[in-house]
Structure 1
């Protein structure tokens, strides 16, 4: 009897002493740094971006981050802008990733093919995993007047734009873009893999899906039809609309981060903590803090 009691006490002790596995992690998020040696336009203070990025990197480096991601438009124009600001970005202590924005391709036709390598990317769209999450990085410039480089992609861009131009879509603007059918097929394969691996899915893109305004990706309806059956899709983070925005649709959080380049005296960036059933956005300066419940 004493042995049974001792065994029971030992089991209870072990049960309460063993802590559940902590799958939480934290990342840094910046959008639309958009540096160039340019004069102020549309309340964008381009020349102030290097100092703002330097301050953000210093703040992010104080924490233990799994990675930091920039959501597109790292520069506004010219390859020289990239050479000026990359050294600051490279001071990040965490891993780092880039999403391609429309202005990242505003470097002249001869330089567009160099952008990928300059940003330390192997592909224009790609994925990576962290704990029980799969992050899918989209290329919204795949079909676009900024980022389509090959003659085939340029032809597809023209075809899609002409196909949609009579639909009176508020976001059919030449500064936006679309996902090619090839990329959409790849996204489906990534989603299927996430289901197989029991992973939650977060998307990163430069262009928003929600709310509907003049900034959305051209073929947003096609993208939404693709992801609708996948209940493991939880997040979609983007930039492009410098004012920022948020909407939750079908339990997917669509969050547009504010542009770092905007306003005379303030910046915008965030740390994002992924917990079991909640994502906490800790916003700095103009970026608001949020609690996103994962269902």
Structure 2
């Protein structure tokens, strides 16, 4: 916001402005006024305004008040003080979701010709508003009052349109309020997630990047809203997703200090009526002593740092859960073999732009384990889904796994791999990689789920496998997404067709879940005992942002602007009445 008040003592009045102003620049409280003299020479003057603010905030207001002479203003030196107002306002009140904003630009208020000295090219935009000192002042004020009326009417129409859009948005999203438990039996807080009349062969609920912390919002990450959004996801899954096999969280359960913040989220996740598994993320290790880094997976109730699950009727699916923090700066202890391997990988791939300390890599031991799991799945003709906190493809993403190229090359050697699921980036994306295999072409889908923490609106979804395609659907920042990805070239199609069942109608029935940990690796067998759980502050958590409060802000901004315009109109009317009275008094004196 730029507010400049130029007075006669500021060094810009009188004969110093003998020319045409064409530029007004400011930095901090210092401004530069550039103008052309009559002989064509370019001059400029520096001055300090009464009030200056940063220009990046939006509104720009320039108040020019000068007791200037004939050469500066084209009027008589005995002319009274001139008040000029150049009002360039652009007020943006953007929020996540539909942008609700007011944009008021190029509103010029003036009583005399001098505003043409500032930004003369804008005179053509308001030709009806021009006046010279030779014209009637009363007529000019009448035009000014009419202009205020037009602006006020236009703003009222804009406000009514925005009000209707806001009400519609609140009606669709439920104003961001958490509904009572009984409301989840027949409806959802957000738009209805698509369901189908066929029972999927595999159904996985997916959460990503809860990242809870008792901290203020930062970088559009709403840490304190995460519990409320997790509660919504848990209730929705329990009420309407009885056919699910398991729920998978893609890492970053907390933002930092896991011993202190995990209790809030863990109490909500325990309400799930499904087997729950999760991955290690980079934020799970922040502000944790090195002596405890090897035991974080036990705090998260994980079988191991990386493991595999055999899921589905007949064990048709193999879920491979990788530890992307295996080689990393934040998850390894100094002086250990893993730290030495971490330093070696950082030096070997130092030319890659994804070699950031917030990312991690997969060590040689885990790569050998992954190769064994893929060999087993290929021999058993199973469909493989790989889960890793860090994305792997496309390669040009700076938030990728350190050795993404090597891992994708390994996965490409096995046609049983259907998809790779990841988080970390907090944004929803999906890519596909078509691989030419000796048995023919097959496709690997790389899917990134949106982070729960990244928006006031929730993000979570489902992965459901059918005999010939994968269905990805859910919520991404409160908006429904629904994708159907064909499975190409994955062996085991005969097994999938044998286990397909079609329901006649009604909700999905609860089925017997067959989830079995067939391999786990990484970590020791001792339980973590020496982590001190600090008590969580007794504060209200889980608040979801109420959209109606945002509308109140819009109303206050709008009515404040309308009040200012109405006040200026009133001042113009009083001035006009005063002028008419003075004219009548003069006419009477002339008659007498």
- TM-score by structure 2 length? 0.45
Please give the alpha-carbon distance, in whole angstroms, between the structure 2 residues aligned to 1:111 and 1:89: 23
1:245 matched residue in structure 2: 429
Is 1:280 aligned with 2:471?
A: yes
Look up the SS of the partner of 2:297 in the other structure.
Answer: helix
Q: Which residues in structure 2 correspond to 1:206-245 (within 5 Å)?
A: 206-211=389-394, 212-245=396-429
Per-residue displacement from partner, 1:175-220 (whole Å, max 9, x unpaired)?
Answer: 0000000000000000000011110111000000112311100101
Q: Which residues in structure 2 correspond to 1:145-184 (within 5 Å)?
A: 145-149=329-333, 151-165=336-350, 167=351, 169-184=352-367
1:84 matched residue in structure 2: 264
Look up the SS of the partner of 1:144 in the other structure.
Answer: coil
Look up the SS of the partner of 1:187 in the other structure.
Answer: helix
Per-residue displacement from partner, 1:35-55 (whole Å, max 9, x unpaired)?
Answer: 011111110000000111010
1:19 matched residue in structure 2: none
- Going from structure 1 to structure 2, the CA distance change for 1:239 and 1:287 (only over 3 Å counts) comes to farther
1:122 to 303, 307, 319: 303
2:211 matched residue in structure 1: 34
Is 1:99 aligned with 2:284?
A: no
Question: Contact (CA 8 Å) 1:258, 1:287: kept in 2 or not?
Answer: no
Please give the alpha-carbon distance, in whole angstroms, between the structure 1 residues aligned to 2:405 and 2:255: 28
Question: Contact (CA 8 Å) 1:75, 1:82: kept in 2 or not?
Answer: yes
1:191 matched residue in structure 2: 374
Extract unaligned runs of 5+ from structure 2. 1-198, 435-442, 489-592
Q: Which residues in structure 2 correspond to 1:53-92 (within 5 Å)?
A: 53-62=230-239, 63-64=241-242, 65-78=244-257, 79-92=259-272
Please give the alpha-carbon distance, in whole angstroms, between the structure 1 residues aligned to 2:215 and 2:474: 27
Please give the alpha-carbon distance, in whole angstroms, between the structure 2 residues aligned to 1:107 and 1:122: 23
Extract unaligned runs of 5+ from structure 1. 1-21
Question: Contact (CA 8 Å) 1:139, 1:205: kept in 2 or not?
Answer: yes
Look up the SS of the partner of 2:481 in the other structure.
Answer: coil
CA positional deviation for 1:287: 6.0
Please give the alpha-carbon distance, in whole angstroms, between the structure 2 residues aligned to 1:130 and 1:122: 16
Question: Contact (CA 8 Å) 2:294, 2:332: kept in 1 or not?
Answer: no
- Going from structure 1 to structure 2, the CA distance change for 1:178 and 1:66 (only over 3 Å counts) comes to same
2:514 matched residue in structure 1: none
Please give the alpha-carbon distance, in whole angstroms, between the structure 1 residues aligned to 2:480 and 2:391: 17
Q: Please identify the structure whose Cα radius of gyration is greater.
A: 2
Count matched residues: 271
1:51 matched residue in structure 2: 228
CA positional deviation for 1:114: 3.3
Please give the alpha-carbon distance, in whole angstroms, between the structure 2 residues aligned to 1:121 and 1:171: 27
Look up the SS of the partner of 1:155 in the other structure.
Answer: helix
CA positional deviation for 1:112: 2.2
1:293 matched residue in structure 2: 486
Please give the alpha-carbon distance, in whole angstroms, between the structure 1 residues aligned to 2:301 and 2:273: 15
Look up the SS of the partner of 1:254 in the other structure.
Answer: strand
Look up the SS of the partner of 2:450 in the other structure.
Answer: coil
Question: Contact (CA 8 Å) 2:294, 2:331: kept in 1 or not?
Answer: no
Please give the alpha-carbon distance, in whole angstroms, between the structure 1 residues aligned to 2:256 and 2:462: 27
Moved more, 219-228 or 188-197: 219-228
Please give the alpha-carbon distance, in whole angstroms, between the structure 2 residues aligned to 1:289 and 1:111: 40
CA positional deviation for 1:87: 0.6
2:511 matched residue in structure 1: none
Please give the alpha-carbon distance, in whole angstroms, between the structure 1 residues aligned to 2:480 and 2:379: 35
Say which structure, 1 or 2, has more relative contact order (CA 8 Å, 6+ apart). 1
Question: Contact (CA 8 Å) 1:268, 1:287: kept in 2 or not?
Answer: no
1:5 matched residue in structure 2: none
